[in-house]
Structure 1
Amino acid sequence: MSRMFLPRDINAYLTSKVLGQAGVLRLISVSIYKHIHGLKAGNVLFIGNSGTGKTTVMRAINQFYEDHDELAAFRTMVIINANTLAPEVEGEDRATRLFRRIEARVRALCGGDLTAAQLKAAMENATVCVDEVDKISARVSGKANVEGITTQYALLTLLEGEDILYRTEVVDEDGVRRLADIAVDTSKLLFICGGAFEELFDQVYTLLVNRKDERRLKETSEVDRQPDGTVKVRTVVRFKLKDYLRLSDMFTYGMMPQFVSRFSSIALFEELGREELKKIMLTADDSPLRASRDYFKHMGVTLRLTDKALDLIAEHAMKNTRIGARALREIYTGLIADYEFDPSSSPKLVTTDSGQVLTIDQEAVADYLAG
């Protein structure tokens, strides 16, 4: 490799693509460093509510590989749902199913005619993201989940870093296609597993509320901004899993100790704050505000969202901790729906020297939220 990427270099790149989650990005930067420099991969387990950025981080990692030519050998990256590994398929074990996904990605990047050595090297450089691992818990509704247990064991086999034989078609030195058994060294792959673990939040919270051990909830002060501009300070008990989680909680949830122990880091995603949510609304590629502006522009209308309106949307979304940034879309799409249908009927639409302008202000947001 012509350039030495240090963890701080990787972190700087990821930080430019992901809003918030500084602690998570530092952890994953170290794991990527180990992976691209041939050290034993530091597998990572992501835990975070829906909408906190797990998929965004995975995409940023993929983009990091894509944006640096020196990392071309590491561009094989697959993101799969753990549930796709759960069902039994006759004649195909779960490890083989995952390897086929990796191989398909390798061939898409490198072409179909690969020797055994070329395919082996490319597969061993892969980054594998397994989403929704919380859905393969060993217990569901208090009952044993056989598919979850067997899927955890299948992933455990890969995470243990052993050589696993994988049979597939390759070309030999003469260009002739043939079947070959390739010994894939899984210790060279980087595994990132993640899930919302929603019941884990409830499980730990209930344990604390009922004082089942020595852990206790902590009180904090919060500032609540009112629509009229005034502020109120109140004392609340806000539960953050990061402050209380123990490995024993993961075992109680239904993740096997052997499975959890194969991860060098457990990265807990923070709930997004107001400033992060505002930046997502203003800058994210899939922001509903950006899509809405394009929509109104097509009608010859300039859409403006005032700072105070954006503050109120972000504050309201911040209170919906279970869906994170997705709360922005839920609030905004509901708010803007009537304006999109018939902007001309709204008193918020005015004609200026530069054309028609629709301004969504704090009052409009407050009225919608009150309704």
Structure 2
Amino acid sequence: MSNLTIAHDLSASAEHYLERIGEADEYAAVDVVLGLIEDGVPAEDVLLRVVAPAQRLVGELWASGTWSVAREHGATAVSERAVAAISARVRPRPTLGRATVACADGEYHALPARMTAEVLRLRGWRVDFLGASVPGRHLVTHLQQTGPDVVALGCALTTRLPRVHATITACQAVGVPVLAGGPGFGADGRFAALLGADGWAPAADAAADRLASGDLPSFPAPQTTGHLAGEEYAGLTRRRADLLTRVMAGLTRSYAPMASYSPQQLEYTAEDLGHIADFLGAALYVGEPAVFTDFVTWTCDILAARGVPADSVSHGLRIFHDELEDLPQARTLLAKGVEAASGAGGPGEGTR
């Protein structure tokens, strides 16, 4: 079979697989992936060219409002079962070193890290997959007990970067290099370098290739990252709870549509304000305005798909701005956020 035919077949299989996980049909989804393996398709190709692209579409369908949160969760849960089925069916003997794969503390998007773990296993590594949200101190304890050659650390959200930074430093302190991966490190991995990671890979196969090249140090040198964080990040973090209470109160008083919000809508609004504070903090930590403005644009687009006008975001950002009189860098970022919100989203009817 030619490579073109294989590519076409896997594309069609990915569409079929998406249909099955969209219906939360675990048995049918597992049949799809195991059937491909039985037909001679390498397990790595099934993971990266069937499961992975289908999962990316799941995220897009949720973001557009086409799929509900429940349907997205159900599809992801089925994919986790499918990956587990592939792992149980294809079990190569480890011939290389030992790798620990984990999600950063506070990071619950575990499926990409799981797929990285499986690709490394298929390439011959002995892998300890620790799952979602592994606290740094517990990860370090595991490293001291098992002595792996590398830690592959996943991070999907930039809000986790301050914790990631502490984890990277702790891993290196016990002599284990860190290979970073996931969109939380930036599309080009720039935050992985900024936080002192020993390497970065954009996808599971790239991670395996990077480790195969052997260019990660065995005993990393301490990284110089004294420019990170700063007083404003610390101040924002310290007062987060009180700040959110004040902003919510101000928004309730001054944004007329909130008078008719249901308890659930008020809960969603409080969650959105928490995300704004966290992304603002992350942008301050790494000194990158795009971390915040990109989040604002994304939020406006998500809310627009659900009928919520972008001016609700702008209004909240202005209240944050007024509350943070003593944090000039944060106020500058919030002003940029208001500009981003003015060019994002679309008309809405103020409902969620």
Normalised TM-score (structure 1): 0.28
Higher-helix-fraction structure:
2
Higher-strand-fraction structure:
1
Normalised TM-score (structure 2): 0.29
Structure with larger RCO (C-alpha < 8 A, sep 6+): 1
